[in-house]
A and B are shown apart, each in its own frame.
Chain A
Amino acid sequence: MSARSQFAAATGTIAALPARLIEPLMYGLQRLVGIKRMPWVFLIPNLTAVVLFALLPVFINIFYSVSGSDRLFPWDRPLIGGANYATLFDCGNYLDPSTCSRDLFWRALGNTTVFVPIQVTVMIGVALITALCLNREIRGRGFFRGIFFFPVMLSPVVVALMWQWILQRNGALNGLMGAVGLTPVNWLVFPNTAFFWSVFITVWAHMGFYTIILLAGLQAIPRDVYEAARMDSASPWRSFTKITLPLLKPVLLVVFILAVIRSVQTFDELYVLTGGGPGSATMLMVQYIYEVGFASQPRNFGLAAAASLLLGLALLIFTAIQMRISRGGAND
């Protein structure tokens, strides 16, 4: 027996050891619960995690949103009904945040409703164009795929610090602009430029993920369908609109929903980069929730919980509508 096959045999034996040890236990369990309930036994570890870290917090959150005081433990908190929701909705004029008792909530809501559509549209657009380019027979395709995916692997804080270094008053970008004779701009001090860079950086940081999904979708479209379209006199643009887009629709739907959810949740990059500023120009919903619940004194867990539940509800309704609208196209 060669050394290699001896090694293989030894690793095989070692690898099989846990299975052997656990086998009698599993037989015992099966006799105890019956073979039909065995799948549940295997699911228990995962279900426990889901219940503990996903379901339970949702219910705790619901309870927080209908209870008051700054106490942490649920049993210390008195029930106050819909008072938190009433506070959030307490407004003189819904179009003017300054007339609301919680004006930051409405400003964050306004920012989010502007930020999300713009960021998602730009991101999917750029991701799709990138995927289309990477799907062609180009030199160094693997390298470029890596390059575009690379930012996804960075920690959001690193992304923010890096861009801060580029964009701050004495940052790299202004240095570069100064070198070519342009007037430096204080990018993060003006609301419009700060908002622009917020969109830009979040797109840059997350686009690689969606590019990969779209690329997989593009690669699933058979090549000969395009060849048939070529024989059918379809121009590249017609091929794109009449073949690529319809066939990519199911993937686009998934990307769209994921991107919207992710975009609504935007927090860490912007919190580190702009802190929501200047003023509240780049403060989005999740940052508002964080600040109300944890960063300000007294901590208003109830109000934060109510705001987060409203956000969750809005996302749920949005996703349901989206699925409903595109069901026809995606399934046939």
Chain B
Amino acid sequence: MANLTLENIKKSFGVVEVIPGVDLEINDGEFVVFVGPSGCGKSTLLRMIAGLEDVSDGDIRIDSASVVNTPAADRGVAMVFQSYALYPHMTVRENLSFGLENIRMAKPEIARRVSDAAQLLQIEQLLERRPKQLSGGQRQRVAIGRAITRDPKIFLFDEPLSNLDAELRVLMRIEITKLHERLGNTMIYVTHDQIEAMTMADKIVVLRKGVIEQVGAPLDLYNNPRNIFVAGFIGSPRMNFIEGSLVRTDAGHVAFEAEGLQPLPLPDADPSLGARERVTLGVRPEDFVISREAGAGWPVAVGVAEQYGASSYLHCTLKGEIPVLIHEAGQSLAKRGDVLHIAPRGKQYHLFDADGLAIGR
């Protein structure tokens, strides 16, 4: 159980600065997910917390004690690697107990911890096997088991599910979440999969180019993205973006205008917004009101209608070849070539300025 503080953490490889400075506070027992596109520095950040990578500058504190000069093994953290990194020549039992033998723990205590972890992860019947004889999911469990036996203050997961097939990934996702509920430890989880981030995290940290773009609860990020990057990264399928400008209508309302399209009134927009050039309108696929009648918004032509059964996704194009993805609950009647009329539902839209920052609505 531990708090973790990152204070102005920097990392450079030679002249390449991969993390220009990160500040972050992680509370005891939180499940925090670092998410971002590949190369955003999330794994590097995790490895610095683990002690596998030196910190170029800044401080890492666990329970308010600085650990930057503490060896990896003594930080009270355990890591689950993307490749599992199991010892191929050791049995599962030996894999689980190796770390404990290294610190000369008493044999009965080792046996107890190994059997507890095996029981928790339901790998008791695999204890005498070697990693090669296990499936991907089983190896994953062993890797998690190895972390559990060390009874760490903080668990670190480095893209642990990326080598599993889609079905298993969903199962393990739920298992890790349950594990967190049971153990109650602080967990830090790195992924590039925003669905994992959304479903598992108490707190999501969105990273881009070594910089934290936003920190918050999953739905907080989903509903109130601070900038256009977070808006586009969180949510699947991603948010639609349409570039244009804000104008004031004769009635004093705010409307969004894009080239070749009629001005779209934004009914509940803050009147103080005023007219602005270069604004991006963001609308999530599920936040459109769809109508077949003209005059009820922007006309779009349906390109492909994907039927998922319980819901449908319509890949459409606005005038000016702007692609728009629309989610329709249930089974859609729309076909290729149909023309629909769309408008954001109520206040369910986002506005971003020329720098990509969210504009208050």
Q: Interface of A with B (CB < 8 Å)? A: 222, 224-225, 227-235, 238, 242-243, 246-247, 249, 329, 332
- Report the separation of the CA atoms of residues A232 and B100 in the bound assembly, to the nearest whole angstrom: 8
Residue-by-residue, is B70-90 near A (CB-CB < 8 Å gives 1, otherwise 0)? Answer: 011110011101110111110
Compute how far the CA of A228 lies from the CA of B130 in the bound complex, rounded to whole angstroms. Answer: 17
Are A222 and B83 neighbours in the complex by a CB distance under 8 Å? yes
Does B103 sit at the interface, judged by CB under 8 A? Answer: yes
Q: Give chain A's interface secondary structure class.
A: helix
B-chain residues with CB within 8 Å of residue A227 when the two chains form the complex: 52, 79, 81, 85
In the docked arrangement, what's the CA distance between A268 and B104, Å? 52
**Closest Cβ neighbor of B53 among chain A residues:** A227
What CA separation (Å) do A222 and B77 show in the bound complex?
21
Q: How far does the Cβ of A247 sit from chain B's closest Cβ, in whole Å?
A: 6
Whether A247 contacts B88 in the complex (CB less than 8 A), given A231-B72, A233-B99, A233-B102, comes out as yes
Is B85's CB under 8 angstroms from A228's CB? yes
- Which residues of A are found within 8 Å of B88, using beta-carbon distances? 225, 247
* Cβ-based interface call for B229 (8 A): no
A242 to B88, CA, bound (A): 11
Assess A246 versus B89: contact at CB under 8 Å? Given A222-B83, A230-B52, A231-B72: yes
CB within 8 Å for A243 and B87 given contacts A232-B98, A232-B99, A233-B73: yes
Q: Are B99 and A242 in contact (CB under 8 A)?
A: no
By a CB distance below 8 angstroms, the chain B residues around A229 are 87, 98
Q: Is the CB of A231 within 8 A of B89?
A: no
A235 to B102, CA, bound (A): 8
Residues of B with C-beta under 8 A to A233 = 73-74, 99, 102-103
For B89-128 the 0/1 string (1 means CB < 8 A from A) is 1000000001100110000000000000000000000000
- State the CA gap A238–B90 with chains docked (Å): 14
B98 and A231 within 8 A (CB): no
Chain A, Cβ-Cβ closest to B133:
A332
Q: Are B85 and A238 in contact (CB under 8 A)?
A: no
When C-beta atoms are compared, the residue in chain B nearest to A235 turns out to be B102
Most-contacted residue by chain A among B77, B78, B86, B99 (CB, 10 A): B99
When the two chains form their complex, are residues A231 and B99 in contact, meaning their CB atoms are under 8 A apart?
yes
Contact A231 B83 (CB under 8 A): no
Q: Does B150 contact A (CB under 8 A)?
A: yes
30 contacts between A and B (CB under 8 A): A222-B83, A222-B85, A224-B81, A224-B82, A224-B83, A224-B85, A225-B85, A225-B87, A227-B52, A227-B79, A227-B81, A227-B85, A228-B86, A228-B87, A229-B87, A230-B71, A230-B73, A231-B51, A231-B72, A231-B78, A231-B79, A232-B73, A233-B73, A233-B103, A234-B98, A234-B102, A235-B102, A243-B87, A247-B88, A329-B89
Nearest CB to that of B89 among chain A residues? A246
- Minimum CB–CB distance from B347 to chain A (whole Å) comes to 47
What's the least CB distance linking A259 to chain B, in Å? 23
B81 nearest CB across to chain A (Å) = 5
Determine whether B35 belongs to the interface, using a CB cutoff of 8 Å to chain A. Answer: no
Q: When chains A and B are docked, how far (Å) is the Cα of A243 from the Cα of B85?
A: 12
* B50 at the A interface (CB under 8 A): yes
Q: Which of A228, A233, A246, A247 has the most CB of B within 10 A?
A: A228
Chain B residue numbers with a CB within 8 Å of A224 are 81-83, 85
Q: How far is the CA of A291 from the CA of B79 in the complex (A)?
A: 64
| Beta-carbon contact of B73 and A231 below 8 Å | yes
B102 contacts A231, C-beta separation under 8 Å: no
Which residues of A sit under 8 angstroms from B73, Cβ to Cβ?
Answer: 230-234
Q: Is B81 a contact partner of A228 (Cβ separation < 8 A)?
A: yes
Q: What A residues does B87 contact at CB under 8 A?
A: 225, 228-229, 242-243
C-alpha gap A329/B130 in the complex (Å): 12
Return chain B residues, CB-CB under 8 Å to A329: 89
Would you call A238 and B102 a contact (CB within 8 A)?
Answer: yes
Query: B79: which A residues are within 8 A, CB to CB?
Result: 227-228, 231
Give the shortest distance, in Å, between A213 (CB) and chain B (any CB): 19
**Cα(A112)–Cα(B130), bound, Å:** 41
- Specify which chain A residues have a CB less than 8 angstroms from the CB of B74 in the assembled complex: 233
Assuming the contacts A222-B85, A247-B89, asked whether A242 and B50 have C-beta atoms less than 8 A apart, the reply is no
Q: Which residue of A lies closest to B102 (CB)?
A: A233
Determine the distance from Cα of A242 to Cα of B95 in the docked complex, in whole angstroms: 11
Contact B102 A332 (CB under 8 A): no
A231 touches B130 (CB 8 A): no
In the assembled complex, how far is the CB of residue B156 from the closest CB belonging to chain A, in whole angstroms? 9
Q: In whole angstroms, what is the CA distance A222 to B78 when docked?
A: 19
Complex formed: what's the CA distance from A234 to B87 in Å? 13
| Given A222-B85, A247-B88: A230 touches B72 (CB 8 Å cut-off) | yes
The chain B residue with its CB closest to the CB of A227 is B52
Knowing that A228-B81, A229-B87, A233-B99 touch, tell me 15 more A-B residue pairs with CB under 8 angstroms: A225-B88, A227-B79, A228-B85, A228-B86, A230-B71, A230-B73, A231-B78, A231-B99, A232-B73, A233-B102, A234-B73, A235-B102, A242-B98, A247-B88, A332-B130
| Interchain CA distance A238-B103 in the complex, whole Å | 11
Residue of B nearest to A246 (CB): B89
The smallest beta-carbon distance between B98 and chain A, in angstroms, is 5
Nearest 4 pairs of A and B residues by beta carbon: A232-B99, A233-B73, A228-B85, A224-B85
Contact residues in B for A243 (Cβ distance below 8 Å): 87
Q: Which of B52, B82, B86, B132 contacts A231 (CB 8 A)?
A: B52
Task: Kindly provide the distance from the CB of A223 to the nearest chain B CB, expressed in whole angstroms.
Answer: 9
Measured in the bound complex, the distance between the Cα atoms of B88 and A228 in whole Å is 12
Inter-chain CA distance A222–B83, complex, in Å, is: 10
